[in-house]
Structure 1
Amino acid sequence: MDLSFTVIALVILILCSAFFSGSETAMMSLNKYKLRHLAKQKNKAAERSLKLTRRPDRLLGMILVGNTFANIIASAILTSYAESHFGNMGIFLSTIILTLFILLFAEIIPKTLAAIFPQKIAFPASPVLWFLLFISYPIVALLNLIANGLLRCVGIKIKHKVNAEPLSSEEIHTVVHESKSKLGSQNKNMLIGVLELDMIKVEDVMIPHHRVEYINLSLEIDEIIHQIIHAKHSILLACYDNIENIAGVISTKRALKFIAQDNKPTYEDILTLLRDPYYIPENISIKAQLINFQQKGMRFATVVDEYGSIEGIITVEDIIEEIVGEFSDTYNLHTHIRSSADNTYAATGDTTIREINRHLHLQLPTHGAKTISGFIIDELRDIPIGNCCLRINNYIIEVKKVQNNMIKLVKITKEKNISL
């Protein structure tokens, strides 16, 4: 056996070993969801790769047979040459040299490249793998039968899955978070909003009772009409004196149309425009409530606590905002956050944490306090008696006004804009 034949044979066998090693890693590293998407678009390489990965036991069996065969033949050829030319010392040296070459050029390098570029390697390799699997099927099937039988002996039963294992909602959440560059910030936020609908309660997004606009039926008819004409929203509660005494719900659009037709509507006329309020618990998820709105054909609900006390109201638009973000709607037409020319923001103390997070991306925790005032008090563990500030996620939150043990106004500034 001459040197040239030995070198050529070793190069070919190491390349074969590198092909099997690289294709194994590439096939196992393919994104199964992307692969199925490409296969549905009639990508031939994707279709072949998908069929190969549906039975990983057969694919790996064939690859391991080919890889082992190439390595053993390479070892036998080099050992034979080394023994005939250098004796026992040649056998020892050839083993070390071949091991290093196989590790570097047939294992580490091809597997590293395949892990980094799985699709670029798997797709071109798929026709070859498909052909090799076809011609070696009897051997591979026999080996798989023996291997699966041995696994059953220790209580492991192999199930061949046609489809990829479905992702959990938490895993989808992670995928969406890591796909910002491809999805775009707006699409990403919308998808996250949909995924979080189950985790958000009505009390997290409702309009609290002290911010609810209502029609006071205890006033004179002229004043009631004045309230309706100047109402900011299309649907309002109608109450006696305060929000705890609800008489019903009134559509200001319908009321305005009625007033336009009758210049002198009476108090009884206004009462005929009322419809029964729709009460919901505060701890229901907004996903369930959105479904309830759809089933009942309604878009406005009054939120009550476990004792039946009025906590606030919620509309379909409030829920939709959690998905698509802030927009001009029938109730939250004006945000409680105001921006300044120096890139700072002023917010009232009753601004909700979710509104702060949505506008300023502070990512404040939403499982505790519902408003920025409550959050500051929780952080300080005390009610501030004057101006103070705290740093949260590269923002400085300053308490600017405290009145009657309540934080009325805060100023929020990006830390990079603060000159120390």
Structure 2
Amino acid sequence: MEHLHPGLVVGLLVFLILCSAFFSGSETGMLSLNRYRLRHRAREGHRAARRIIDLLARPDRLLGTILVGNNFVNILVSSIATATAVQLWGEVGIAIATLGVTILLLIFGEIAPKTFAAQRPEAVAYPVSLVLAALQKLLFPIVALLGWISNGMLRLLGVDPTAKRSDSLSSEELRSVVRESGSDLPLNRQSMLLGILDLERVTVDDIMIPRNEVAGIDLEDDLETIIGQLRTTSHTRLPVFRKDINQIEGIIHMRHIARLLSHDQLTRDSLLEACSPPYFVPENTPLSTQLLNFQKQKRRIGIVVDEYGDVMGIVTLEDILEEIVGEFSNQDTLRSPDIHPQDDGTQVIDGAAYLREINRALGWQLPCDGPRTLNGLITEALEHIPDSGICLQIGRYRLEILQAADNRVKSVRAWAIEPPRDE
């Protein structure tokens, strides 16, 4: 080194440190890429994305190429700096060179480039992939030998270096990806995607209309009552039964009897002839399964039955779609007919209201893993049917029973308690 001009030595050291930064940043940038975005760009024909996928297909070779280049550069920097320092300051130059090179390589060859690459992996990985692909071919004999040795050591430790890493996501991981998408995905679309994922966890008896709220046609009623009910109903499909909803005869579509109603020709027999056979749905059927069943059966309404065949309620295609896209009703109307906001900030809620509906409307987190209604939650917590005036607390929510009758809680005043502040 004594025959080289000092400026040339400094320039060579600067160049080698830049090479070290290149290899360090390349490693972090390549391994920090979003694999799903990368595959998407590759499918769109992005050449650099395809090249990176090929490089990442053999991570042992890619890392081998980067590490060979990086270690070679770092050792060369140390050798040149040490030789120069010894020439200038003698034996003490070894310590000076060691300290100086360590600081320079850590700052400019490791920390700074890796931090930049971690923050902007695409800006680093796409341009450097061309250089890395060329170096991988150039250094293939050395990389292959080193890879063969290191892979052999891994096999001795019980690790298969050829095993491909699984990039598949579980449902919970996919939910996290959707929630963290931020401004890249509008909030309403996030809600729709989360609603689709939740179809696996929600069953038909979670969203069904309970049997005591089902509007239907009782064939035992007089004909004038039946006609009046058909003319005033707001539903397009109604169950038709005899005396009891457990004895369902069929499902009537208003379109099929519109002509008969307009000409006063409707009879019980013509009503039954216009009915389609009832479609029964077992309770605890996941919504994702039922959505597909509705599609296969070409149905829009199902009768939910328990294990004994008794009718529990009805579920419609619209109910399932509302779990995905939200309520179809006007947003200016009351959020739920069972929830009545009060001036003091509390909520008066019907005891038959579903807990999932309450949580969705108010943004609460009442437990839904047991009872499905507010009445069921209160009676389970108290272990008896309470009287009016009783108060209880479930989690961070206080519930005051306003009315209890007919062996159930009819109305409740509820409000959320502010969580205690950390000291």
| Distance in 2 between residues matched to 1:315 and 1:242, nearest whole Å | 20
Where 1:244 maps in the other structure, the secondary structure is: strand
Shift of 1:251: 2.2
Shift of 1:402: 3.4
Shift of 1:340: 5.2
Corresponding residue for residue 245 of structure 2: 243
Does residue 201 of structure 1 match 2:203?
yes
2:362 to 360, 363, 385: 360
| Distance in 1 between residues matched to 2:154 and 2:166, nearest whole Å | 22
Corresponding residue for residue 35 of structure 1: 38
CA distance change for structure 1 residues 167 and 320 in 2, over 3 Å: closer, same or farther? same
Does residue 58 of structure 1 match 2:97?
no
Code of the aligned partner of 2:22: F
Corresponding residue for residue 83 of structure 1: 86
Corresponding residue for residue 317 of structure 2: 316
Code of the aligned partner of 2:175: H
CA distance change for structure 1 residues 85 and 35 in 2, over 3 Å: closer, same or farther? same
> Does the aligned pair in 2 maintain the 1:336–1:351 contact within 8 Å?
no
CA deviation vs aligned residue, 1:46-81 (integer Å, no higher than 9, x gap):
333223222221111111011100111111111112
> Does the aligned pair in 2 maintain the 1:176–1:188 contact within 8 Å?
yes
CA distance change for structure 1 residues 384 and 16 in 2, over 3 Å: closer, same or farther? farther
Structure 1, gaps ≥5 residues long: none
| Distance in 2 between residues matched to 1:218 and 1:143, nearest whole Å | 87
| Distance in 1 between residues matched to 2:182 and 2:371, nearest whole Å | 29
Higher mean C-alpha displacement, 3-12 vs 25-34: 3-12
Where 1:243 maps in the other structure, the secondary structure is: strand
CA distance change for structure 1 residues 164 and 153 in 2, over 3 Å: closer, same or farther? closer
Higher mean C-alpha displacement, 242-251 vs 107-116: 242-251
Q: CA RMSD in A?
A: 2.8
Shift of 1:335: 4.1
| Distance in 2 between residues matched to 1:186 and 1:412, nearest whole Å | 28
Shift of 1:293: 1.6
> Does the aligned pair in 2 maintain the 1:15–1:106 contact within 8 Å?
yes
Shift of 1:389: 6.8
Does residue 112 of structure 1 match 2:115?
yes
| Distance in 1 between residues matched to 2:37 and 2:393, nearest whole Å | 45
Shift of 1:174: 1.5
CA distance change for structure 1 residues 39 and 223 in 2, over 3 Å: closer, same or farther? same
Where 2:304 maps in the other structure, the secondary structure is: strand
> Does the aligned pair in 1 maintain the 2:388–2:401 contact within 8 Å?
no
Corresponding residue for residue 278 of structure 1: 279
| Distance in 1 between residues matched to 2:185 and 2:44, nearest whole Å | 20
Does residue 173 of structure 1 match 2:175?
yes
CA distance change for structure 1 residues 341 and 347 in 2, over 3 Å: closer, same or farther? closer
Corresponding residue for residue 12 of structure 1: 15
Corresponding residue for residue 47 of structure 1: 50
Code of the aligned partner of 1:170: E
| Distance in 1 between residues matched to 2:105 and 2:189, nearest whole Å | 47
| Distance in 2 between residues matched to 1:340 and 1:152, nearest whole Å | 66
Corresponding residue for residue 228 of structure 1: 230
Corresponding residue for residue 290 of structure 1: 291
CA distance change for structure 1 residues 412 and 326 in 2, over 3 Å: closer, same or farther? farther
| Distance in 2 between residues matched to 1:380 and 1:82, nearest whole Å | 82
1:325-336 equivalent positions in 2, closer than 5 A? 325-328=326-329, 335-336=336-337
Corresponding residue for residue 150 of structure 2: 147
CA deviation vs aligned residue, 1:361-397 (integer Å, no higher than 9, x gap):
324332212123333444566635216475867x776
Higher mean C-alpha displacement, 368-377 vs 20-29: 368-377
Corresponding residue for residue 22 of structure 1: 25
> Does the aligned pair in 2 maintain the 1:114–1:121 contact within 8 Å?
yes
Shift of 1:29: 0.4
> Does the aligned pair in 2 maintain the 1:250–1:273 contact within 8 Å?
yes
Code of the aligned partner of 1:121: V
Higher mean C-alpha displacement, 149-158 vs 367-376: 149-158
2:376 to 374, 378, 383: 374
Corresponding residue for residue 421 of structure 2: none
| Distance in 2 between residues matched to 1:52 and 1:200, nearest whole Å | 42
CA distance change for structure 1 residues 387 and 327 in 2, over 3 Å: closer, same or farther? farther
CA distance change for structure 1 residues 8 and 384 in 2, over 3 Å: closer, same or farther? farther
1:400-411 equivalent positions in 2, closer than 5 A? 400-411=402-413
> Does the aligned pair in 2 maintain the 1:377–1:384 contact within 8 Å?
no
| Distance in 2 between residues matched to 1:398 and 1:180, nearest whole Å | 38
> Does the aligned pair in 2 maintain the 1:300–1:315 contact within 8 Å?
yes
Structure 2, gaps ≥5 residues long: 419-423
CA deviation vs aligned residue, 1:258-291 (integer Å, no higher than 9, x gap):
2223x24333333333333222211111111222
Shift of 1:179: 1.5
| Distance in 2 between residues matched to 1:145 and 1:44, nearest whole Å | 30
Corresponding residue for residue 77 of structure 2: 74
Corresponding residue for residue 352 of structure 2: 350
Query: Among the aligned pairs, what percent are the same residue?
Result: 42
| Distance in 2 between residues matched to 1:154 and 1:345, nearest whole Å | 62
